């Protein structure tokens, strides 16, 4: 912090601490800008789940929640969660992060879940929270609604290495006519419950507009990982609004193509892709 800023902050603190009736507890709304998805309850607590748009959908979801004991918001819970899809002949989980407290908040927990499938008439997801508050353990489970996404945001496929992969679009959430920051996550399906992030791969991108002669765009940058255990980042150039197909190729650490094809005169699209429309 710059010295001048520090001094004005100090002045502000002095000014406020001198004012007489400042004893009321601070009412900070840490869920501002978020929309309630639903509450999951047990005998003791209500877990209020939030996202930006108030929905959960197939693909990557950044999820926030608060744990309430009556009107009190719990600040010191240690939480893990488990999404489960109950299909007619088996159950499986999906890629999900650890839970952390959102930076600069007291009561807001956050993480992400990638739902690789949407619910349907007979198959559904539920979400379990297991948590610990002052050495007491609790659990809460309920069914959640996971709608199909209108545009393709997640690819599930077997690579040429016979490994099952889940490739999810994270950004851009709000694409612009510009060179957009793009990010994705790649997970390996180890078993029905275990989906570790994959390191040291590469994702080639080729955005095209199928409705306009399948033209592309300049200045795209393929996606790489900066550090292991992280997402993959690159640049996505969108030269006009409308429907874009982001053709993908997944390459391993040896730069061997595991899945996806180059777009050519003869081949209009890759077998793995994301879709955007804006
Ligand atoms: Cu499923």
Sign of CA dihedral 127, 51, 87, 183: negative
Q: Does the pLDDT of residue 10 top 70, yes or no?
A: no
How remote is the CA of residue 92 from the centroid of ligand 1, in Å? 6
**Res 135: pLDDT:** 96
Average pLDDT over residues 9-14: 51
Cβ atoms of 52 and 64 within 8 Å: the answer is no
Average pLDDT over residues 142-171: 98
How remote is the CA of residue 125 from the centroid of ligand 1, in Å? 8
DSSP string, 220-271: -EEEEESSTTS-EEEEEEE-SSSEEEEEEEEE-TT--EEE-----SS----S
How remote is the CA of residue 22 from the centroid of ligand 1, in Å? 53
Average pLDDT over residues 134-144: 98
Residue 70 lies in a domain: yes
Position 18 confidence tier, pLDDT thresholds 50, 70, 90: very low
* Same domain (yes/no): 132, 169: no
Residue 105: CATH number of its domain: 2.60.40
* Same domain (yes/no): 139, 201: no
Position 19 confidence tier, pLDDT thresholds 50, 70, 90: very low
* Same domain (yes/no): 69, 88: yes
The average confidence (pLDDT) of the chain is: 93
How remote is the CA of residue 95 from the centroid of ligand 1, in Å? 12
How remote is the CA of residue 94 from the centroid of ligand 1, in Å? 9
Residue 7 lies in a domain: no
Residue 149 lies in a domain: no
How remote is the CA of residue 123 from the centroid of ligand 1, in Å? 7
Per-residue model confidence as pLDDT tens digits over 58-74: 999 999 999 999 999 99
Position 256 confidence tier, pLDDT thresholds 50, 70, 90: very high
Average pLDDT over residues 222-233: 97
How remote is the CA of residue 262 from the centroid of ligand 1, in Å? 29
* Same domain (yes/no): 164, 272: yes
How remote is the CA of residue 151 from the centroid of ligand 1, in Å? 18
Number of domains in the chain: 2
Average pLDDT over residues 138-154: 97
Whole domain around residue 83: which residue ranges? 35-144
How remote is the CA of residue 225 from the centroid of ligand 1, in Å? 28
Average pLDDT over residues 227-253: 97
Specify the DSSP element, H or E, that contains 91: strand 91-92
Q: Does the pLDDT of residue 160 top 70, yes or no?
A: yes
Among candidate residues 60, 87, 78, the one with its CA nearest the CA of residue 187: 60
Burial category of 208 from C-beta neighbours within 10 Å (exposed 0-12, middle 13-18, buried 19 and up): buried
Q: Which of 93, 119, 144 is the last residue of a domain?
A: 144
Q: Which of 94, 109, 144 is the last residue of a domain?
A: 144
* Same domain (yes/no): 208, 261: yes
pTM of the full structure: 0.89
Q: Which of 144, 168, 183 is the last residue of a domain?
A: 144
């Amino acid at each position: 912090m710059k010295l001048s800023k520090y001094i004005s902050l100090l002045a502000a603190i002095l000014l406020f601490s001198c004012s007489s009736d400042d004893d009321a507890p601070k009412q900070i709304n840490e869920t501002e800008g978020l929309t309630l998805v639903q509450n999951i309850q047990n005998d003791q607590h209500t877990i209020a789940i939030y996202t930006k748009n108030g929905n959960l959908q197939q693909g990557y979801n950044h999820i926030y929640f608060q744990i309430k004991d009556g009107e009190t918001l719990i600040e010191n819970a240690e939480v893990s969660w488990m999404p489960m899809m109950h299909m007619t002949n088996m159950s499986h989980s999906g890629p999900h992060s650890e839970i952390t407290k959102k930076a600069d908040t007291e009561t807001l927990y956050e993480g992400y879940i990638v739902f690789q499938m949407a619910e349907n008439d007979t198959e559904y997801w539920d979400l379990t929270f297991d948590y610990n508050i002052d050495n007491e353990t609790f659990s809460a489970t309920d069914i959640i609604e996971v709608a199909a996404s209108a545009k393709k945001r997640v690819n599930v496929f077997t690579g040429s290495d016979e490994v099952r992969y889940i490739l999810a679009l994270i950004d851009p959430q709000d694409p612009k006519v510009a060179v957009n920051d793009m990010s994705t996550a790649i997970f390996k399906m180890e078993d029905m419950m275990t989906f570790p992030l994959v390191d040291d791969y590469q994702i080639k991108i080729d955005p095209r507009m199928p409705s306009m002669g399948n033209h592309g765009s300049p200045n795209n940058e393929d996606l790489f990982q900066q550090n292991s255990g992280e997402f993959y980042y690159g640049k996505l150039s969108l030269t006009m609004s409308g429907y874009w197909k982001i053709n993908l190729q997944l390459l391993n650490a040896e730069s061997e193509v595991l899945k996806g094809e180059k777009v050519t005169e003869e081949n209009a699209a890759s077998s793995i892709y994301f879709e955007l429309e804006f």
